[in-house]
Amino acid sequence: MAEITFDDFLKVDIRVGRVTRAEPYPEARKPAIKLWVDFGPELGEKKSSAQITAHYSPEALIGSQVLAVVNFPPRQIGKFLSEVLVLGLSDSEGEIVLIRPDMDVPIGERLH
């Protein structure tokens, strides 16, 4: 495991946002869901492609809060431009489980 400094950690901008729209993304190499996430007035709405189909449906995600890295450069995922990296952990089967606050917090709030 590579060590980083606290200053390195502070460079990673992790924010909470609210999913405003979600659609299946069957054209992706691995099954995925396209997400539109509102990070508040400072950052606005950003898009992400997430391989989370084992535990989530697009309909169930709308209105939920998620954590995402918001300062990576955009990445082309097929025909979809992913602007943020929504964060999750692998379960015992290797499927992604989203990292989310256990109660509502103000959108755009930075992880500290």
Residue 94 lies in a domain: yes
Question: What pLDDT band is residue 37 in, cutting at 50, 70 and 90?
Answer: very high
Residue 89 lies in a domain: yes
The predicted structure's pLDDT at residue 112? 87
Instruction: Record the pTM.
Output: 0.94
The predicted structure's pLDDT at residue 91? 98
Domain count, the chain: 1
Q: Which residue spans within 1-112 are E strands per DSSP?
A: 14-25, 32-38, 45-50, 65-69, 75-77, 80-82, 85-86, 88-90, 96-98
Residue 28 lies in a domain: yes
The predicted structure's pLDDT at residue 27? 86
Give the domain range for residue 93.
6-98
CATH code, domain with 90: 2.40.50.140
Q: How many CA atoms lie within 13 A of 27 on its CB side?
A: 8
Residue 85 lies in a domain: yes
Residue 58 lies in a domain: yes
Residue 27 lies in a domain: yes
